[in-house]
Amino acid sequence: MRTPSIIIERVAHWLEFFTLSELVFVLSEDARMYPLDKFRIEKIALAIRHTFSSEQSNNDVKMLIEDLFMSYCQTRPLVKPTSISFIKIRHNNHLLVAFRSSCPTCYQSLNINNSCQKCVRLYCHNGSVVTVHHDISILENAASMNQEAICGGYPQLAAVDRRILTNLIHAFLIIQLDISFGHSNVSIPFQLKNFNEWAWYQFPRLLSCFIYLWTNYRAIIEPCDKHCSQCLLVDGHQKCRRPICAFKDVQINTEEMSNLVIGCCRTPATASRYCTLHDIRTTTENLHQSEIRIYNHSNATSCRTLKARSDEYTKACTRSFGLIAVVTNCRIITSFSELYRSETSREIINLFAVTIRVAGKLAPTIVYDDGCHLVKYVKNHIGRDLTKTSAMELLASTPISVDRSHFRNHVGDFSRQNMNPDKNPC
């Protein structure tokens, strides 16, 4: 007997749940598809339900494949690459891509009339369609097709415009972020060229949602442990610098301070150092060499850790200075701000003020590598050029320390007495 008895028993068992045609169809599709395709089971189950109008679940298809795929593959007909049967199979096994390929028989271009039908579920409410549910999402289909193309070594049929691809990914990520915040409907521009302007005006709302969610994630989601969100670490990251407008005199007014100089954050126009709003075609000022200072390290009474850059440097620089991020001790980013001039104490204070106004609170303690200048600025300017708001009172009452890796560079008396992280009450 050519077929072992154990295989006959397993096939007889599965014929109670599948017809003979369905059984061969599933095993043939599994042998044809790439084993690294993580959506292989879902695609086979969807194909058999659509082809045979059956109700087999994904789990049934998975168990069938796991039980019989090895025996099926071992009994498939063996053909050599030069045999007549292999050439015939290869000739009939064409790669057909919708809207790009042509039929190998009649040479007709494939269009929407030649596309396959797809079963979807429509969920209606009061006579209108609410949602459309696919058995496999668009992302899963795209990932599966990309993986199949890479494994099969398919060539790129058309050149991809990297700018259009970047804009599409950017639009998708913004829509995904908006939906993740709990918004069921997202209204976007019809044309892609208007999407950047739309995203610019939506940024404050999305940033507020981001700050509120991750500052209060201990109550909204769940705490990670008993020390969850007990400390905020503030630090700058300069790896994400980008070209920005060279106009540095943009000022804003907030509830806590007036005439806060932040610089223009827009992208420069083509062949210019300035954006379309500030394109005055001025010449670049020469960057002066840094002034040489001689520090008295033996009798130092104040810290030399100021992060503010000179006006000559900031005006000559046509790139942003990265991001300043507020991160919890659980490694979760709760707030951030982009730096267009330099990391000054006023911009750090404004970041904390925005975070407090949105989230309504701060962590019990703060760690900042330039905490000495931040604390001095708040204490010396609150009630004067810093309006005494509830956000400023909360910031002034929150213990601030310097992290251990930077504390050794803080040699001033004030830092040694007040910025030691080991003496922080929290």
Q: Which residue has the tokens 């803080």?
A: 410
Residue 181 sits at φ, ψ, to 5 deg, of: -80, 5
Sheet containing strand 333-338, edge to edge, reads 333-338, 323-328, 231-237, 365-368, 400-401
Q: What average pLDDT score do residues 311-340 get?
A: 83
Beta bridge partners of 235: 325
Q: Where are the domains of the chain?
A: 5-76, 162-213, 227-283+300-423
Instruction: Identify the pLDDT of residue 285.
Output: 39
Specify the higher pLDDT residue, 242 or 295: 242
Beta strands (DSSP E) in 178-322 are 231-237, 251-252, 260-261
Total-model pTM: 0.58
Highest average pLDDT, of 144-153, 186-195, 363-372, comes from 363-372
User: Of 12-16, 81-85, 204-208, where does mean pLDDT reach its minimum?
Assistant: 81-85
Residue 354: band (very low, low, confident or very high) from pLDDT cuts 50, 70, 90: very high
Q: What average pLDDT score do residues 104-108 get?
A: 60
Highest average pLDDT, of 41-45, 129-133, 268-272, comes from 41-45
Residue 132 sits at φ, ψ, to 5 deg, of: -120, 120
User: Of 172-176, 316-320, 389-393, where does mean pLDDT reach its minimum?
Assistant: 316-320
Residue 243 sits at φ, ψ, to 5 deg, of: -65, 135
Alpha helices (H) along 260-370: 311-316, 345-359
Q: What average pLDDT score do residues 154-163 get?
A: 76
With 60 as the cut, is the pLDDT of residue 290 above it?
no
Q: What average pLDDT score do residues 102-106 get?
A: 59
Residues 53, 303: Cα–Cα separation, whole Å: 76
Q: What average pLDDT score do residues 310-339 get?
A: 82
Instruction: Identify the pLDDT of residue 328.
Output: 93
With 90 as the cut, is the pLDDT of residue 318 above it?
no
Q: How many C-beta atoms surround the C-beta of residue 301 within 10 A?
A: 9
With 90 as the cut, is the pLDDT of residue 142 above it?
no
Residue 217: band (very low, low, confident or very high) from pLDDT cuts 50, 70, 90: confident
Q: What average pLDDT score do residues 35-61 get?
A: 86
Residue 284: band (very low, low, confident or very high) from pLDDT cuts 50, 70, 90: very low
Residues 135, 151: Cα–Cα separation, whole Å: 24
Distance in Å from the first CA to the final CA of the chain: 78
Instruction: Please compute, for residue 180, the number of CA atoms within 13 A of its CA located in the half-sphere on the CB side.
Output: 12
Q: What average pLDDT score do residues 406-414 get?
A: 79
Q: What average pLDDT score do residues 270-286 get?
A: 66
Instruction: Identify the pLDDT of residue 53.
Output: 86
Instruction: Identify the pLDDT of residue 120.
Output: 54
Specify the higher pLDDT residue, 144 or 330: 330
Residue 358: band (very low, low, confident or very high) from pLDDT cuts 50, 70, 90: very high
Q: Which residue has the tokens 């396959």?
A: 116
Highest average pLDDT, of 103-112, 291-300, 324-333, 334-343, comes from 324-333
Q: What average pLDDT score do residues 46-75 get?
A: 83
With 60 as the cut, is the pLDDT of residue 94 above it?
no
Q: What angle do CA 357, 361, 364 make, to 5 degrees?
A: 145
Torsion sign (Cα): 278, 282, 287, 291: negative
